[in-house]
Structure 1
Amino acid sequence: MASPTQQLPPGWAAEWDQTHQRYLFIETATGRAQWEPPVANGVPAPAQSPSVSPPPNAPQHGKRRQYAAGQTQAYYGAADGLSAPAYGAAAPQPQVQAPTQLFTPGLAAEGQFQQQQQQQQQQQQQLMPAQPPYYGGAAATEPEYINAPGFGQQSSVTTLVDQFGQMNVAQKGLRLYTTNLLTSPPEPRELLRPLPDIVLPPNASVSPSPFANADPSYQRSTLNAIPTSNSLLSKSKIPLALVITPYRSVKEGDDPVPLVTDTVIARCRRCRTYINPYVQFIDGGNRWRCCMCSMSNEVPQLFDWDSVRNQPADRWARAELNHAVVEFVAPTEYMIRAPQPAVYIFLIDVSHAAIQSGMVATATRTILENLDRIPNEENRARVAIIAFDVSLYFFSLPPGAADSSMLVVSDIDDVFLPKPTDLLVNLTESRPALESLLGRLGDMFQDNHTIGSALGPALQAGYKMMSNIGGKIIVLSATLPTHGAGALKNREDPKILGTSKESALLQAASPFYKTFAIECSRAQISVDMFLFSSGYQDVATLACLPHYTAGQTFYYPAFNAARSEDAIKFAHEFGEILAMPIMLEAVMRVRASKNLRMSSFHGNFFVRSTDLLAMPSVPQDLSYAIEITIEDTITAPFVVFQTAILHTTCYGERRIRVITTALPTTSNLSDVFTSADQVAIATLLANKAVERTLTHKLEDARDALFNKLVEILQAYKASMTAAGASASAQLAISENLKMLPVLVLGLLKNVGVRQSAQIPPDLRAYAQALLTSLPSQLLIPYIYPNFYSLHNMPPECGTVGEHGVIMPPPLPPTSERLERHGLFLIEDGQTMFLWVGRDAVPQLVMDVFGLPSYEVLRGGKTTLPVLDNPFSQRVNAVIQKTREMRRGVYYPHLYVVKEDGEPPLRLWALSCLIQDRGDVSPSYQQFISQLRDKVNGSNY
Structure 2
Amino acid sequence: MPAVFFFLVDVSMEAVQTGVTAASCSAISQAIADLPGGPRTMVGIASYDSTIHFYNLRRFLQQPLMLIVPDVQDVYTPLHTDIIVPFIECHQTLQQLLGNIPTIFENNLIAESSLIAAMKASCLAMKPTGGKLLVFQSVLPSVGIGSFSSREAEGKTNVSSGEKEADKLLQPVDKTLKTMAIDFAEWQIRVDIFISSQTYVDIASICVVPTTTGGQVYYYYPFSALSDSAKLYNDLRWNIGRPQGSEAIMRVRCSQGLQVQEYIGNFCKRVPTDIDLPGIDSDKTIMVTFKHDNKFQEGAECAFQCALLYTTVYGQRRIRVTNLSLQCTSNLTNIFRTADLDSQFAIYLKQSANDILINPLPKVREKVTNLCINTLHSYRKYCSTVTSSAKSGQLILPEALKLLPLYTLALIKSIGLRTNGRIDDRSHWINCALTLSTALCIPLVYPRMIAIHNLASMEDGLIIPSTLPLSSEHVTNNGIYLLENGEDALIYVGNSVDVEILQNVFGVSTVGAIPSQFMLKQYDNELSKKLNDIVNEIRRQRCSYLRLRLCKKGDPSGMLFFSYLIEDKSPGGLSYVEFLVHVHRQIQAKMDL
- Is the TM value for this pair above 0.5? yes
CA distance 1:435–1:917, shift in 2 (3 Å): same
Which letter maps to 2:98? L
**2:413 is the alignment partner of 1:749:** yes
Q: In structure 2, how many angstroms separate the alpha carbons of the residues matched to 1:824 and 1:779?
A: 22
**2:301 is the alignment partner of 1:638:** yes
Name 2:584's counterpart in structure 1: 932
Which residues of 2 match residues 256-405 of structure 1 at below 5 A? 340-377=1-38, 379-405=39-65
Name 1:667's counterpart in structure 2: 330
Q: In structure 2, how many angstroms separate the alpha carbons of the residues matched to 1:368 and 1:580?
A: 18
Instruction: Find 2:69's aligned residue among 409, 417, 420.
Output: 409
Name 2:520's counterpart in structure 1: 864
Do the aligned residues in 2 keep the contact of 1:403 with 1:432 (CA within 8 Å)?
Answer: no
Deviations 1:21-69 (A, max 9, x none): xxxxxxxxxxxxxxxxxxxxxxxxxxxxxxxxxxxxxxxxxxxxxxxxx
* 5+ residue gaps, structure 1: 1-339
Q: In structure 2, how many angstroms separate the alpha carbons of the residues matched to 1:462 and 1:523?
A: 12
Q: In structure 1, how many angstroms separate the alpha carbons of the residues matched to 2:524 and 2:504?
A: 8
1:867 Cα shift?
1.6
Name 2:503's counterpart in structure 1: 846
Which residues of 2 match residues 36-55 of structure 1 at below 5 A? none
Do the aligned residues in 2 keep the contact of 1:529 with 1:554 (CA within 8 Å)?
Answer: yes
Name 1:521's counterpart in structure 2: 185
CA distance 1:431–1:824, shift in 2 (3 Å): closer
Name 2:545's counterpart in structure 1: 891
CA distance 1:839–1:433, shift in 2 (3 Å): closer
Which letter maps to 2:586? K
Instruction: Find 2:196's aligned residue among 499, 513, 532.
Output: 532
1:859 Cα shift?
6.2
> SS of 1:772's equivalent?
helix
Deviations 1:216-243 (A, max 9, x none): xxxxxxxxxxxxxxxxxxxxxxxxxxxx
**2:482 is the alignment partner of 1:828:** no
Structure 1, 845-854 or 674-683: larger mean CA deviation:
845-854
Q: In structure 1, how many angstroms separate the alpha carbons of the residues matched to 2:46 and 2:52?
A: 7
Name 2:218's counterpart in structure 1: 554
1:869 Cα shift?
1.6
Q: Considering only CA atoms, is the larger Rg found in Structure 1 or Structure 2?
A: 1
Name 1:913's counterpart in structure 2: 565
1:765 Cα shift?
0.6
Do the aligned residues in 1 keep the contact of 2:163 with 2:360 (CA within 8 Å)?
Answer: no
CA distance 1:894–1:463, shift in 2 (3 Å): closer
CA distance 1:929–1:861, shift in 2 (3 Å): farther
Deviations 1:228-284 (A, max 9, x none): xxxxxxxxxxxxxxxxxxxxxxxxxxxxxxxxxxxxxxxxxxxxxxxxxxxxxxxxx
Q: In structure 1, how many angstroms separate the alpha carbons of the residues matched to 2:517 and 2:96?
A: 34
> SS of 1:867's equivalent?
coil
Do the aligned residues in 2 keep the contact of 1:452 with 1:482 (CA within 8 Å)?
Answer: yes
Percent identity between the two aligned chains = 31
Do the aligned residues in 2 keep the contact of 1:386 with 1:395 (CA within 8 Å)?
Answer: yes
Q: In structure 2, how many angstroms separate the alpha carbons of the residues matched to 1:753 and 1:514?
A: 25
Instruction: Find 1:482's aligned residue among 142, 166, 171.
Output: 142
Do the aligned residues in 2 keep the contact of 1:859 with 1:897 (CA within 8 Å)?
Answer: no
**2:573 is the alignment partner of 1:573:** no
Name 2:128's counterpart in structure 1: 468
RMSD: 1.8
Deviations 1:465-485 (A, max 9, x none): 122221111111111111121
Deviations 1:731-759 (A, max 9, x none): 21210001111111111111011232xx1
Q: In structure 1, how many angstroms separate the alpha carbons of the residues matched to 2:349 and 2:77?
A: 42
Which residues of 2 match residues 768-787 of structure 1 at below 5 A? 768-787=430-449
CA distance 1:402–1:662, shift in 2 (3 Å): farther
Name 1:736's counterpart in structure 2: 400
* 5+ residue gaps, structure 2: none
> SS of 1:645's equivalent?
strand
Name 2:537's counterpart in structure 1: 881
CA distance 1:653–1:402, shift in 2 (3 Å): farther
Q: In structure 1, how many angstroms separate the alpha carbons of the residues matched to 2:399 and 2:249?
A: 38
Q: In structure 1, how many angstroms separate the alpha carbons of the residues matched to 2:327 and 2:560?
A: 44
Which letter maps to 2:457? P
Structure 1, 613-622 or 431-440: larger mean CA deviation:
431-440
Structure 1, 595-604 or 364-373: larger mean CA deviation:
364-373
1:496 Cα shift?
4.7
Do the aligned residues in 1 keep the contact of 2:456 with 2:526 (CA within 8 Å)?
Answer: no
Q: Which runs of 4+ in 1 moved over 6 A?
A: none
CA distance 1:865–1:414, shift in 2 (3 Å): closer
Name 2:96's counterpart in structure 1: 436
1:626 Cα shift?
0.9
Do the aligned residues in 2 keep the contact of 1:755 with 1:921 (CA within 8 Å)?
Answer: no
1:761 Cα shift?
0.5
Q: In structure 1, how many angstroms separate the alpha carbons of the residues matched to 2:271 and 2:309?
A: 15
Which letter maps to 1:914? I
Name 1:603's counterpart in structure 2: 265
CA distance 1:435–1:845, shift in 2 (3 Å): closer
Which letter maps to 1:695? I
CA distance 1:861–1:884, shift in 2 (3 Å): farther
Q: In structure 2, how many angstroms separate the alpha carbons of the residues matched to 1:733 and 1:397?
A: 64
Q: In structure 2, how many angstroms separate the alpha carbons of the residues matched to 1:572 and 1:897?
A: 23
Q: In structure 2, how many angstroms separate the alpha carbons of the residues matched to 1:447 and 1:850?
A: 37
> SS of 1:519's equivalent?
helix
Deviations 1:655-713 (A, max 9, x none): 11122223222111111111211111111111111111112222221111011111112
1:794 Cα shift?
7.3
Do the aligned residues in 2 keep the contact of 1:500 with 1:699 (CA within 8 Å)?
Answer: no
Do the aligned residues in 2 keep the contact of 1:682 with 1:743 (CA within 8 Å)?
Answer: yes
> What's the TM-score, normalizing by structure 2?
0.95
Name 1:922's counterpart in structure 2: 574
Do the aligned residues in 1 keep the contact of 2:2 with 2:315 (CA within 8 Å)?
Answer: yes
> What's the TM-score, normalizing by structure 1?
0.61
Name 1:317's counterpart in structure 2: none
> SS of 1:763's equivalent?
helix
Q: In structure 2, how many angstroms separate the alpha carbons of the residues matched to 1:481 and 1:823?
A: 41
1:634 Cα shift?
2.1
Do the aligned residues in 2 keep the contact of 1:602 with 1:687 (CA within 8 Å)?
Answer: yes
> SS of 2:294's equivalent?
coil
Q: In structure 1, how many angstroms separate the alpha carbons of the residues matched to 2:324 and 2:62?
A: 53
CA distance 1:615–1:844, shift in 2 (3 Å): same
Which letter maps to 1:824? Y
CA distance 1:796–1:660, shift in 2 (3 Å): farther
Which letter maps to 1:373? D
